Amino acid sequence: MQNQIEEILVTGEELKSKAKELGKRISNDYEGKELVLIGVLKGGVVFFADLIREISIPIDMDFISVSSYGNSTKSSGVVRIIKDIDVDITNKHVLIVEDLVDTGLTLHYLKSMFENRGPKDVKVCTALDKPSRRKVELEIDYEGITIPDKFVVGYGLDYAGKYRNLPDVCVLKSSVYESKGDSE
Ligand code: IMP
Ligand code: MG
């Protein structure tokens, strides 16, 4: 796997310290409030695990699984719910935790879906952000690290289901995509 990496964009250590900073802010902002953290599977799990251990107030947590169709490096914009949350978020404060905001379509969709279920509010936290790719306006309340418009894997992020277990956020060699007939 290591020999397929072109460059490391963000290290797992950098994201851990970002999680520490955001965890502190979240702990202050939600002190005395009922907070439910919702992790977006599968990519969000690594950051989610780093983040929750930096939060010092009691929280509830759940996961949602979504898919934008296919194995491509391009987001289709079609959001499909594969697994919904089980917890009742009525009158609770909701914080969605994502790995990466790209076009913004996924979080835009999830935010309004949860807002329709009667929570106190719904906010958004992301490990990584590619603002240059945004297609819809989206307020990110807890912002991780901004990256350029490059397709990345590792620290939870995949290409065709693989590379999620790389500890750092990496760009793969173009030969990896070319061999799958996906040239972005
Ligand atoms: P959005 O709906 O376009 O904002 O994309 C959201 C999802 O697409 C992210 O949560 C990722 O799962 C996936 N995604 C976007 N960019 C990348 C990337 O560079 N590498 C891996 N997955 C990505
Ligand atoms: Mg994702």
| 6-57 pLDDT per residue, tens | 999 999 999 999 999 999 999 999 999 999 999 999 999 999 999 999 999 9
Domain boundary assignment for the chain: 12-148
pLDDT, position 67: 84
Question: How does pLDDT run across 113-147, given as a tens digit for each residue?
Answer: 999 999 999 999 999 999 999 999 999 999 999 99
Question: Can you say how many angstroms the Cα of residue 20 is from the centroid of all Cα atoms in its chain?
Answer: 16
Tell me: pLDDT of 181 over 90.
no
Question: Domain 12-148 belongs to what topology?
Answer: Rossmann fold (3.40.50)
Measure 101 CA to ligand 1 centroid, in angstroms.
Answer: 6
- Computed from CA positions of residues 118, 68, 86, 43, in that sequence, does the dihedral angle turn out positive or negative? negative
- 152 with 127: CB under 8 angstroms? no
Quick check: CB of 104 below 6 Å from ligand 1? yes
Quick check: CB of 98 below 6 Å from ligand 1? yes
Residue numbers annotated as active site: 102
* Mean pLDDT of the residues in the chain: 93
pLDDT, position 79: 84
